[in-house]
Chain A
Amino acid sequence: MNRQIRRLTVGVLLCFLVLFGQLNRIQVFQAQELQDNPDNTRQVVANYSRPRGTISTIDGTVVARSVEVDTALRRQREYPEGELFAQISGHFSLHFGASGVERTYDTELAGQTPELELRNLADLFVDRDRSGSLVLSVRADVQAAARDALGDRPGSVVALDPRTGEILALWSWPSFDPNLVSSPDIAQATEARSLYLLDPRNPMLGRTYQERYFPGSSFKVVVSAAGLESGLVTMDQPSYDRQSTWTPPLTSRAITNAGGSVCGGSLAEILRVSCNTAYAEMGALTLGPDVMAEGAEAFGFNSRPPIDLPAPALSVFPTDYGEALSTPGADQPDPAVPGTVFENTPSLAQAAIGQHDVSATPLQMALVAAGVANGGNIMQPHVVHELRDADGGLIERYEPEVWRRAMSPANAAALRQAMIGVVTSGTGTSMAIPGYEVGGKTGTARLAEGTASTHAWMIGFAGPPGETPHVAVAVVVLAEEGAGEQSGGRVAAPVARTVLETALSPAAPPVTPPGSEPEPDPGT
C-alpha cells in the first residue's frame, strides 16, 4: 500500500502545482490584460469610490466636490453650481468616464501623482485623504457675468488674463448639468446624456475650445499683424483705394463692404471701420499666401493650444493656394514677390476677411486679442491656478509660460493702438468702458454666400490706461435660424463689455482653500 500512498502524494503535489501555475497565469501573467478588459469595471469603480479632491474657483466657489453616500460606491460627485462650470469641470461618471478638468487632472484629484503619494508616505498607517484639490483661475463672478450677458442666445465667451494666460471665464450656452450625467444611477445618467447628445447645439461639447467657427472680420487683426511683421505693411503704407467693392484676380465675384459703404486708407483706418475691400487686397496681393499662413500660424492657427483641458480643437488657416501664375512686372511667376497671383488667390482674398476655409475656436480668437495686448506674446492658456493637498497645503502653482511670440513688441503696441481706435470711434464703440483703455475688433461672419445669418464676433482687451491690459476676451453669438444678420458691434460687443467690466473689478478675496470633504450643506 505504501507505494500507492507515495504515488498519491506525488499526484496531490502535481494537482496543487497545476493550481499554483494557473494562479500565476491569472494573477501575474494575464493580470494586466484582465484589468484592461472593457467588461472589467473594477478599476473604474475603485476610482469612483476613492476620495477625490474638490475643484473650486479662485474666488472660492465650489465647482465640484465628492460627497459620501450610503451606497456601495461610497462617494458621489456633486456640482453645486450645475451648468455654470460644466464645460470647465466636465463630468465624472461611473458609466461614461470623465471630461473637462475632471479628466485632465484625474490623477491629481485622485491623489495619485508622485508628489501627493510621497507627501503621505509617512502616514501610511493613518487614514488620510490623499486626494489633491484644484483651484481654478476662473472667477465665479466673471463666469456668471458671461452667462448672464449671453443669456439664451447660443454662443461662447472666453475671458483670460493676457499677462499670464489664466482663463477667467469659459462659458457657452447651452450648457449641461454634470450632476445628471455623473449620476451613479445608470438609467438616469444614460437618459440625461442621450438627451444632451440629441441636441444639435451639442451642450456637452466644450465649444469654447472644442468647436470652430468662421472668425469673420475679427480675423483682420491676424492679417494686420502678419502685414506688420512681414514689413510689407506699416501704419502708413500702403494706403488702399477708397472703394465699395473689389474684385480679386481670376474671379468675377466681388468683395463688398458692409452695407455697401466706401472705405480705404492705411492700416489703422481700415481696421477701425473693418474695410473688407482693403483687407482682401492686402491679404491676396500685398502679403500673399506664405506671409498670411506664417502670420496665422504665429498666433497658433493650425496647432492645438496647450490648454489643460481635454482635446482642444485646432483652429484652421488653409495654406495651399496652388501654383503661382503670374507676377506683375516679371516674365516668369515668382511666388516670393508680393502681388503674385496664385491659382486660388480668390480664396485667399476671402480668407483675409475670415471667410473661405478659415475657422477658429473662441479660445483661439481670445488668444489673438491677448497676444496683441501682451506685447505680442501669447501665454499658455490654462484653467487651473494651483494644486493643493487635502489639508490645503500648496503643492504646485502654475507658472506663466509663453506659447507663441506672435509679434514684436513695437508692432504689437501699434496694432493695439489701432484696436483701441476701433472702440473709440469705429465699429466697436459699444464695448467702451469709461476710465479704461479698451481695444477690440468686431466680426460678422456670414455662414454661406447669399444667406442673411451671421455669427457675431467681438474680440478685445481692456485695462487701466498705460498698462498692459488685464483682460482679453472673445465673444461669439452664433447665427440662429431666422435671426437674420447680427453684427458683431451691435450683438457681441455689449456682451464683451459686461464681461470685461466684471473682470476689471477686483476679485473677491480668495477664501482658504477648501478641503476635499466639505461640511454638509445645511441647505440641502
Chain B
Amino acid sequence: MTELRSLRRRVELGLIVLIAIITASAYALAGLGASASLPADLLPFLGIVLGLLLVAHLAVRRFAPNADGLILPLAALLNGLGYVFIARLDNDLAAPQATWTAIGIGAFVATLVLVRRPRDLQRYRYTFLLAGLVLLILPFTPIGFANLGAQIWVRLGPLTFQPGELAKLAMLLFFAGYLVENRELLSVSTFRIGPLMLPDPKRLGPLILALGAALFIFVQQNDLGPSLMIFTVFLVMIWVATERLSYLVLGSGLFVVGAYLAYTQFAHVAPRFEVWLDPWRPEVIRGEAYQIVQSTYALAQGGLTGTGLGLGNPERVPVVTTDFIFTAIGEELGLVGATAVLITFLLLVGSALRLAVVAEHPYDKLLAVGIATLIATQVFIIVGGITRVLPLTGIALPFVSYGGSSLIVNYVLLGLLLRLSHDVTTRQLRKVEAEAAAVPA
C-alpha cells in the first residue's frame, strides 16, 4: 500500500517540477518574443510557480496520499500555460491572475481538508439546489450587472464575480445527490411514447425543471453557454445514473426544440445563429461576426507550428484573455500547441472517467462523471465555438482563461476529484490486502 502511494506521489512531484520548468520556459520565451529580453522576474516567477505547486502537492501528500498522481500536474500545466498567455496578452491581468491562482490553490487545499468523504456531501443536496438556483438568479437582482452583453455578473462591494461558476458546482453536487437517491425510481418506466420508455411523469419533474431553468437562463442572459453546459451535465448524469438512454435522447431533443423556438421567437438570439452559419457575409464581417472572423484569421496565421510565443498578434481578437484564450494559443503555438492543450484536457477528463469506472459507490461514480462532463463540456463549448463547430458562446476555458470565479471553482472540482481518487484507491487497496490475507500461506 505504501509502495503505490509513494510511487504516485513521486510521479506527481516529478511532473510538478517538470511543469514548473515548462511554464517558466514558456514565460521566458513569451518575454523574448514580445520584447526581445528575458523577463527580469524569471527566477522569482519559477520560484512562485514551484512554491504554489509544492503547497498543493504537500496537501495531497498529507490529505489524499493515495490519489492519482496525474490529475494535479495536468491542471497545473493548463493553469501555467494560461497564466503565461494572460501575462503576455495583458500585463495588467498578470498580478490578479496570480492572486486568483494562489486563492485557487488555497481552495484546492481547503477542499481536501474539509471534504473528508465525498459521500458526506450527499446529505446537503437540497441545500446545493437552493444555493444553485439563487446563484443563477443573482445576476438578475439589483446587485447583478451585465458586461460585454452578458448578464452574468454580480458586484458585492469591491468584489465582482460570476455566480454562474459557483452555481455549476452547486448544481453538480445537487444532481449527484438527487440522482443517487432517485435512480431506481427514475429508471422504472411506466408509460411509453413510441419507442421511448418513460418513467412516472411525477419523477420527470426535476428534468423538466432543469430544462426550463436552462432555457430561461439562455434567453435571459443572451448566452447559450452556461445553460447548455449545466443541462448537458444533468442529462449525462441522469443517463449514467438510470442507465436509460431515453433521458439523453429526449432531453437533447427537447433542448434542440427549445433552442429553435428561442431562435424564432426572440430577436436577440437569431443573429448568433446567423453569424455561426455564415460569418463571412459583408454585413456582419465587421460587426457581429468580427470576433469569430478575427479569431479564425488568428488560427490560420498560426498554422501548424504557430508564430511563436510573443510573436503573434492575438491582441487583434477581442476578449482574447478570457473566452478566446484558446485562439491565442492556436495562433502562437499553432495546431501543435492547440492539440497539446486539447490532449491535456482529454487526459484530465479521462482520469476522472477512469475514476468513475473504478469507483464502487454510485455517488462517487456520479460525482466523477459530473466533474468529467463539466470540464469536457466547457472545453467543447468554447473551443467548438471558436472553431465554429457550435454557435459561439462566451465561456471560460477551464484553468486557462483569465478569471477568478472560474479558476477557484475549477480548483475545488480538482480537490473533489483527488479526494474521490484517494478514497477509491484506498478502498481497493484494502480489498486487495484483505484478499491476500484471506489466502492461506
* Interfacial residues, chain A to chain B (CB-CB below 8 A): 1-6, 8-9, 12-13, 15-16, 18-20, 22-24, 26-28, 30-32, 34-35, 37, 39-40, 42-43, 45-46, 72, 125-127
Contact check: which of B243, B301, B316, B338 meets A4 at CB < 8 Å?
A: B243
Q: Please determine whether B296 and A8 come into contact, CB atoms closer than 8 angstroms.
A: no
Tell me the dominant secondary structure on chain A's binding face: helix
- Which B residues are in CB contact (< 8 Å) with A2? 357
Report if A28-B373 is in contact (Cβ < 8 Å); known contacts: A2-B357, A19-B387, A35-B297.
no
**Which 10 pairs show the lowest CB-CB distances between chains A and B?**
A127-B36, A34-B300, A22-B387, A27-B335, A31-B300, A4-B240, A40-B297, A26-B299, A12-B376, A9-B353
| Given contact pairs A12-B349, A18-B384, A23-B342, a sample of 11 additional A-B residue pairs in the complex whose CB atoms are under 8 Å apart | A1-B240, A12-B373, A23-B299, A23-B338, A26-B299, A28-B303, A28-B304, A39-B280, A42-B297, A43-B301, A127-B37
Q: A8-B373, A46-B313 are in contact. Are A27 and B302 (CB under 8 A)?
A: yes
Q: Which residue of B lies closest to A35 (CB)?
A: B300
Task: Kindly supply a per-residue 1/0 record for chain B positions 310-343, scoring 1 wherever the CB is within 8 Å of any chain A CB and 0 otherwise.
Answer: 0001011000000000000010001100110010
Chain A positions within 8 Å of B297 at CB level:
34-35, 37, 40, 42
Known contacts A23-B299, A27-B334, A28-B304; decide if A15 and B380 are in contact (CB<8 Å). Answer: yes
Bound form: Cα–Cα A16–B300 in Å: 19
**B375-389 contacts to A (CB < 8 Å):** 376, 379-380, 383-384, 387-389
* Residue in A closest to B311 when the chains form the complex, CB atoms: A46
B contact patch SS: helix
Least Cβ distance of A27 to chain B in Å? 4
Q: Which of A13, A19, A34, A127 has the most CB of B within 10 A?
A: A19
Pairs across A and B, CB under 8 Å, 23 listed: A3-B243, A8-B236, A8-B372, A13-B346, A16-B376, A22-B384, A23-B330, A23-B342, A23-B387, A27-B303, A27-B334, A30-B300, A31-B301, A31-B303, A34-B296, A34-B297, A35-B297, A37-B297, A39-B280, A40-B297, A40-B300, A43-B301, A126-B36
Shortest CB distance A356–B (Å): 48
Instruction: State whether B243 touches A45 (Cβ < 8 A).
Output: no
Q: How far is the CB of A17 from chain B (nearest CB, A)?
A: 10
Are A24 and B335 in contact, with the CB atoms below 8 A? yes
Q: B residues within 8 A CB of A24?
A: 335
Q: Does B362 lie at the interface of the complex (its beta carbon under 8 Å from any beta carbon of A)?
A: yes
Is the Cβ of B389 less than 8 Å from the Cβ of A8?
Answer: no
Question: B112-151 CB contact bits vs A (8 Å, 1 = yes)?
Answer: 0000000000000000000000000000000000000000
Q: Are A5 and B240 in contact (CB under 8 A)?
A: yes
Chain A: which residue is nearest B35 at the CB level?
A127
A23 to B300, CA, bound (A): 9
The answer to whether B84 has its CB under 8 Å from any CB of chain A is no
A125–B28 CA distance with the chains assembled, in angstroms: 12
Asked if B298 is at the interface (CB within 8 A of a chain A CB), the reply is: yes
Contact with A along B187-219 (1 / 0, CB 8 A): 000000000000000000000000000000000
Task: From known contacts A5-B240, A31-B303, A45-B313, infer whether A26 and B353 are also in contact, taking CB-CB under 8 Å.
Answer: no
Instruction: Please tell me if the beta carbons of B365 and A27 are within 8 angstroms of each other in the complex.
Output: no
A18–B385 alpha-carbon span in the complex (Å)? 12
Task: Decide if A8 touches B313 in the complex (CB within 8 Å).
Answer: no
| B293 located at the interface, meaning its Cβ lies under 8 Å from any Cβ of chain A in the complex | yes
CA distance A26 to B379 in the complex (A): 18
Check: B411 CB closer than 8 A to any chain A CB.
no
CB closest chain-A residue, reference B241: A1
- The reply to whether B357 and A16 contact each other, CB–CB distance below 8 Å, is no
Contact, CB under 8 Å: B380 / A1: no
Q: Say which residue of A4, A20, A126 sits within 8 Å of B342 (CB atoms).
A: A20
What residues of chain B lie closer than 8 Å to A22, measured between beta carbons? 384, 387-389
Which A residues lie within 8 Å of B335 (CB)?
A: 23-24, 27-28
Most buried by A among B37, B236, B302, B387: B387
Contacts of A23 in B (CB 8 A): 299, 330, 335, 338-339, 342, 387
Determine if B240 and A26 form an interchain contact, defined as CB atoms under 8 angstroms apart: no
A16 in contact with B334 given A8-B236, A9-B350, A127-B37 (CB within 8 Å): no
A15 to B382, CA, bound (A): 12
Of the candidates B243, B280, B376, the one whose C-beta lies within 8 Å of that of A1 is: B243
Cα-based distance from A40 to B297 in the complex (angstroms): 7
Distance of A6 Cα from B236 Cα, bound (Å): 12
A23-B299, A24-B335, A27-B302 given; A8·B388 CB < 8 A: no
Q: Report the minimal beta-carbon distance from B59 to chain A, rounded to whole angstroms.
A: 28
